[in-house]
Structure 1
Amino acid sequence: MEGAVDSLAHILVVEDEPKLAALVGDYLQASGYSWHWVADGRDAVPAVKAQPPDLILLDLMLPGRDGLDICRELRSFSDVPIVMLTARVDEIDRLLGLELGADDYICKPFSPREVVARIKAILRRARLPLDVSSTTLNIDDATHRAVFHGALLDLTPVEFRLLKTLAAAPGRVFSRDRLLDNLYLDHRVVTDRTVDSHIKNLRRKLEQVAPGQDPIRSIYGVGYKLEID
Structure 2
Amino acid sequence: MHPDQSTSFAPIATTHVLIVDDDPLVRQMIAEYLSEFEIRTTAVPTGHEMAQVLARDSVDLLILDLRLPGEDGLQIARQLRANSNLPIIILTGRKDEADRVMSLELGADDYLTKPFSPRELLARIRALLRRSRMQETTAGALAKIRAYRFAGWELNVRLRKLTGPNDEPVSLSNGDFNLLVAFLSAPQRVLAREQLLDLTRLHNAEVFDRSVDVQVGRLRKKIEVDAMEPTLILTERGVGYVFSAAVEVVNG
Q: Return the alpha-carbon distance in structure 1 between the equivalents of residues 170 and 120 of structure 2.
A: 35
2:190 maps to what in 1?
173
RMSD, aligned α-carbons? 3.3
CA contact (8 A) 2:101 2:207 kept: no
Q: Work out which of the residue numbers 80, 88, 91 in structure 2 matches 1:82.
A: 88
1:46-76 Cα distance to aligned partner (Å, 9 max, x none): 3322324111100011113121121122223
Question: Within the alignment, does 1:112 sit opposite 2:129 as a pair?
Answer: no
1:87-125 Cα distance to aligned partner (Å, 9 max, x none): 111111111111211111111111112111111111111
**Superposed displacement of residue 2, structure 1:** 1.7
1:42 maps to what in 2?
48
Q: Return the alpha-carbon distance in structure 2 between the equivalents of residues 77 and 185 of structure 1.
A: 19
1:187 maps to what in 2?
205
**Superposed displacement of residue 41, structure 1:** 3.1
Q: Return the alpha-carbon distance in structure 2 between the equivalents of residues 66 and 135 of structure 1.
A: 37
Unaligned runs of 5+ in 2: 150-154, 164-168, 225-229
**Superposed displacement of residue 221, structure 1:** 3.8
2:166 maps to what in 1?
none
- The worse-fitting range, judged by mean Cα deviation, of 76-85 and 194-203 is 194-203
Between the aligned residues of both structures, percent identity stands at: 38
Q: Return the alpha-carbon distance in structure 2 between the equivalents of residues 152 and 124 of structure 1.
A: 32
CA contact (8 A) 1:29 1:35 kept: yes
1:51 maps to what in 2?
57
Q: Work out which of the residue numbers 3, 6, 21 in structure 2 matches 1:2.
A: 6
Aligned residues between the structures = 217
CA contact (8 A) 1:57 1:83 kept: yes
Q: Return the alpha-carbon distance in structure 2 between the equivalents of residues 176 and 35 of structure 1.
A: 32
Name the SS for the 1:7 alignment partner. Answer: coil
**Superposed displacement of residue 39, structure 1:** 0.7
**Superposed displacement of residue 165, structure 1:** 4.2
Q: Return the alpha-carbon distance in structure 2 between the equivalents of residues 56 and 181 of structure 1.
A: 18
Unaligned runs of 5+ in 1: 208-213
1:210 maps to what in 2?
none
Q: 1:204 to 1:51 in 2, by over 3 A?
A: farther
**Superposed displacement of residue 180, structure 1:** 5.2
Q: 1:193 to 1:54 in 2, by over 3 A?
A: closer
**Superposed displacement of residue 84, structure 1:** 0.5
1:217 maps to what in 2?
233
1:13-28 pair list within 5 angstroms: 13-28=19-34
Which amino acid in 1 is paired with 2:213?
D
Which amino acid in 2 is paired with 1:174?
L
- The worse-fitting range, judged by mean Cα deviation, of 124-133 and 83-92 is 124-133
Which amino acid in 2 is paired with 1:3?
T
Q: Return the alpha-carbon distance in structure 1 between the equivalents of residues 22 and 127 of structure 2.
A: 25
**Superposed displacement of residue 169, structure 1:** 2.7
1:70 maps to what in 2?
76
TM-score (norm 1): 0.77
Q: Return the alpha-carbon distance in structure 1 between the equivalents of residues 218 and 235 of structure 2.
A: 18
Q: 1:180 to 1:28 in 2, by over 3 A?
A: same
- The worse-fitting range, judged by mean Cα deviation, of 171-180 and 26-35 is 171-180
